A = this chain, B = another copy of it.
Amino acid sequence: MSSTLKDEEVGPSRRARVRRLPERGRYDRATVDSILDEGFVCHLGVCSPDGPVVIPTAYVRVGDCIYLHGAPANYALRRAVDGDSVCLAVTLVDALVLARSAFHHSINYRSVMVFGVAHEVEDFDEKRTALMAFVDHVVPGRSPDTRPPSDSELRATRVVKVDIDEVSAKVRTGGPKDDPEDLDLTGIWAGEMPLRVVPGPPLADDSAPVTVPVPSYLLAYKRPGGATPAEAPA
């Protein structure tokens, strides 16, 4: 797969450049954004005096930046806004790739790495907008159906943003790439096993009354390439 370099290309900077298997590198924002918009959990890496710390955390892309949030005491977020550089990775697993040789077994994936400096968002309007964007990123259509954040909740939430500036994507698609001499091993099944994220039936909260039916945005919920709860296996 050749890399696609377009007008809206960003980077690659030295550290964002895909070094291993550079033919899998993509630097156009359309590819980067499509991956960022499909995922909703990233892994945030910071360097502490004791070494690296990597935490999973939800994110949302809004325009040219990525928002993260958490409690003010969250260690990785606190370090992130202390001015250190951060690295964010988003990874989507699409398929297992079974080759004839053990060596060429692989995984089809789409991943993004973002490098940058994290800035704390102090403005309450921007924090509120970002938090509602989180809700709608994970469950499109959900935010109008919620009690919005109060000022004290906004104070109790650290919101952090990272510009999408130094960024790269890495994509593997397609079947196994066996060595030519292994293609004669026709008795070994080779190919791909696709993996999809599929929602199960929604479960109403049983700790307090829920008097409304399951909303349409949940009945229609699917991750890209996936199925709705009604289409899913029992």
Contacts and interface: CB of A to CB of B under 8 A. Distances in A.
Interface stretch (A2-10, A60-68, A101-109): A101-109
Nearest to A19: B75
Given A52-B47, A131-B102, A186 B199 contact: no
Interface string A192-230: 111111111111111111111111001001010011010
Contacts of A20: 70-71, 73-75
Contacts of A52: 45-47, 52, 54, 84-87
Contact of A101 (B103, B147, B197, B223): B147
A36 interface: no
Tell me how many chains of this kind the complex includes. 2
Task: Kindly state the interface size class of chain A when it binds its partner.
Answer: 35 or more
A45 B87 contact: yes
Interface of A: 14-15, 19-20, 41, 43-48, 50-56, 58, 70-71, 73-75, 84-89, 91, 93, 95-96, 98-103, 105, 107, 109, 111, 113, 115, 131-132, 134-135, 138-139, 142-143, 145-150, 153, 157, 175-176, 178, 182-183, 185-215, 218, 221, 223, 226-227, 229, 231-234
Given A189-B204, A196-B198, A212-B186, A55 B113 contact: yes
Contacts of A204: 189-191
